[in-house]
Copies of this chain bind each other. A is one copy, B any other.
Amino acid sequence: MKDHNCALPDALDTVRAIAEGRLTAEAATRVRLERCAEREDEIGAWVHLDAAGALATARALDAGPMRGPLHGVALGVKDIFAVSDLPWRSGSPIWRDRVAGFDAGAVALARQAGAVILGKTETTEFAGYKPSRTRNPVVPGATPGGSSSGSAAAVAAGMVPLALGTQTSGSIIRPAAFCGVVGFKPSFDLIETGGVTVFARSFDTVGVFARSVPDAALGVEALTGLELQPVTPALSTLSLFLSPVWDHATPAMQTAWAAFEDDLARQAPLAGVPFSDALVAAMAEIPDLHARVMAIEASEALSHEMAIAPDLLSQGLRDQILQGAAQTAEMRHADRQRMIDLRGRAMNETRPGDIWLTPATTGVAPAFDSGTGDPIFNRLWSLLGFPCCTVPILRDAAGAPMGVQIVGRQGDDRAVLSVAHWLMERFQPA
């Protein structure tokens, strides 16, 4: 496994160094552009790298006072976010020539906080399942996962310390785990989604990739005005949750997870309250329910593209849209009500501060040609709107990374990040 990143400061270090006059935004930007130059040919993380724009932004920042919490931090932006004057292709040939005339809300907030937008990162087609060209920077021959493929890869390769992504089924947690970085999907709708191409409105959630949990927290703080830096976690609220989809875990994950459980038991008493048997039984239907609602909502969100250029959609996406469009009125109504009911139950039958630890993915990143990997360990939390963070503290025998996923109730974002940070500090593999 490759890791060339030790020498680069993380986002918090960068801001601190600039504030203390030890670094300029321009120098911080140049280091990242050099890393891009070294590794981009091999990885293909970027739809468009805006070196000139980034350097101009950095120089403007250097000429003024500290602008905000991301002052001078190089940022990768998934290509489903609109960024003024940059391409906005959303991973589709339909929008090959589109250039955005405005910033998505989250992008404008990042800019306002002092971020230096390095460019647009590769996404699968409309953030669905058709892979982009991006390669996994740390597992040769493997997929980086999707849909936020370029953002995960760019952070893993040290091209940026922070990148924006989105998750609808498993599009943040899965690529972060496959690339060995921290991925954080906040509570549903915690971050502004205006100006981000929609796939499924009930699930689409903006989140971040970083090399550390405090950096991930910093990114979301800058976009929300919340206080999210990790604090000492209440370990009494932790429980393990293998989830109703545990039988999808690969042998590599099962082995690594068993070792993690043993290690964890030595470090902390797991005194949290598990989900009730009744709730777990109800959750078992979530993967299928999530897939159905996602298909219905995608058929609505992409109705314009389906009308003007069906032949430019991949066969897989077209099938997904047609499957969604074909749902009966009864099924549409019943599925939507079931989703609302399950969200309500998951909040009612748990307590504030409860945290569950569960695998981030079924295993390590599969081969590049196999697709972007299975989101089945992510659909539950995407449907429930629960915040989750993956930390790269598991490895298979060959050293390929896997993630432990920390999940909390809606609104318990800081508790999730606090446990994630605690785990990163204690379980970072050699």
Contacts and interface: CB of A to CB of B under 8 A. Distances in A.
Interface string A329-368: 1101100110010001001100000000000000000000
Chain A contact residues, majority secondary structure: helix
Contact of A329 (B108, B227, B307, B348): B227
B112 A303 contact: yes
Interface stretch (A21-29, A190-198, A372-380): A190-198
Interface stretch (A95-103, A209-217, A249-257): A95-103
Nearest to A84: B304
Contacts of A337: 411
Contacts of A66: none
A224 B329 CA distance: 8
Given A303-B112, A411-B337, A201 B224 contact: no
B112 A336 contact: no
A347 B109 CA distance: 34
Interface residues of A, number: 51
Contacts of A108: 303-304, 306-307
Given A225-B327, A327-B225, A304 B102 contact: yes
Interface of A: 84, 98, 101-109, 111-112, 189-190, 192-195, 197-198, 201-202, 223-227, 296-297, 300-304, 306-307, 325, 327, 329-330, 332-333, 336-337, 340, 344, 347-348, 410-411
Closest 10 A/B residue pairs (Cβ): A194-B198, A108-B303, A108-B304, A192-B300, A103-B304, A227-B329, A194-B301, A337-B411, A109-B303, A105-B301
